Amino acid sequence: MEFRPDDRLAVAERFMALRGKEHFTQEALGKLLGICRQSVWEIESQRVRLQRSTWVRFVEFEARHMQPAMELPKLWS
């Protein structure tokens, strides 16, 4: 398991990068992680430090969504 960075900026950047890649709103990402929109805003604004349980859910979710898209063989297209 990846350790949670102590640097709030690093965490905020990862949240924003994932939201940008997937075109999620703060509310949508919050629902997927089990937190409210306000919490996502506070994390991205570097006002709070994530709880360990939220970090674990985020890292697992990020790992699933940051993988490159699978390309089907030409015969399947």
Q: The domain that contains 58 carries what CATH number? A: 1.10.260.40
Predicted pLDDT at 71: 67
Which pair of structure tokens corresponds to residue 17? 């990068």
Distance CA 15, CA 45 (A): 10
Residue 69 DSSP SS3 = coil
Provide the pLDDT for residue 5: 75
Number of domains within the chain: 1
Which residue type occupies 4? R
The whole model's pTM is what? 0.79
pLDDT digits (tens, 9 = 90+) for 24-77: 999 999 999 999 999 999 999 999 988 889 999 999 999 887 766 556 666 655
Whether residue 1 is predicted with pLDDT greater than 60 in this model: the reply is: no
42 is a domain residue:
yes
> CA 64, 69, 9: angle at the middle one, nearest 5?
50
Name the least confident of 1-5, 6-10, 18-22, 51-55. 1-5
Burial class (CB in 10 A: 0-12, 13-18, 19+), 20: exposed
**Domain assignment of residue 23, yes or no:** yes
Residue owning tokens 């674990």: 56
